[in-house]
Amino acid sequence: MKNLLKIIIVLVFVAGYSTLNAQTNAKLGYINSNELFELMPARDTIETQLREYKTTLENTIQAMMLEYQNKIQEYQINVATMSDIIKQTKEKEITDLEARIQAFQQTADQDFSNKQAELFNPLLEKAKKAIKEVAEENGYTYIFDAGVGVLLYFEKGDNILPLVKKNLGIE
């Protein structure tokens, strides 16, 4: 399915490029956004913040898992001497804790994704703005992202990464 989508995209690109080339002199450029992103100075700070946040979430889950294991162990050791009502209460505690752990895991995954978006979006917007400014200043009609893997051939385009780095003040 992915290969079919890539083939369709390439065919549309080739057909569009042929039509575009016949109508105008399009100026094509490309950039590897992954490479640009690696060069941006704020990225390291953001990744550090994300690692710390992820560690906090993991520590909480580990504490919950330790509590769960302790309750299971205590239950297994004392099950023979427990009355039915205490046994049911302990089983309910264990089941409730399992549910809390699962709910926390799902919430933690979503929270981490939200935190990642919150921290990275300003950086991505800054990069988009710089790419747009460079494209407009240099008369580019189209800029392709070579880092995504959609564009397989870009020999006739210009790599605008040096211009974007200059615009962002990255050496």
pLDDT class of 140 with cuts at 50, 70, 90: confident
> Using CA atoms in the order 21, 149, 128, 43, what is the torsion angle rounded to 10 degrees?
-160
* Distance (Å, whole) CA 161 – CA 168: 10
Q: For residues 125 and 128, what is the distance between their CA atoms, to the nearest angstrom?
A: 5
pLDDT attached to residue 94? 95
Average pLDDT, rounded, for the chain: 83
The residue length of the chain stands at 171
pTM above 0.85, yes or no: no
Structural domain count, the chain: 1
Cβ-contact 148, 36 below 8 angstroms: no
C-beta separation of 30 from 159 below 8 A: yes
Cα–Cα nearest to 143, from 156, 158, 129, 130: 158
pLDDT of residue 30: 85
Alpha-carbon distance of 33 to 150, in angstroms, equals 13
Exposed / middle / buried, residue 125 (Cβ in 10 Å: 0-12, 13-18, 19+): exposed
The boundaries of the domain holding residue 149 are 2-168
| Amino acid 154: pLDDT | 47
Helix 84-137 to helix 161-168 angle, to the nearest 10 degrees? 100
| Residue, of 151 and 42, whose pLDDT is higher | 42
How do residues 41-95 score in pLDDT, each as one tens digit?
889 999 999 999 999 999 999 999 999 999 999 999 999 999 999 999 999 999 9
170 phi and psi angles, rounded to 5 deg:
-95, 135
* pLDDT mean over 91-116: 95
% of residues, the chain, pLDDT over 70: 81
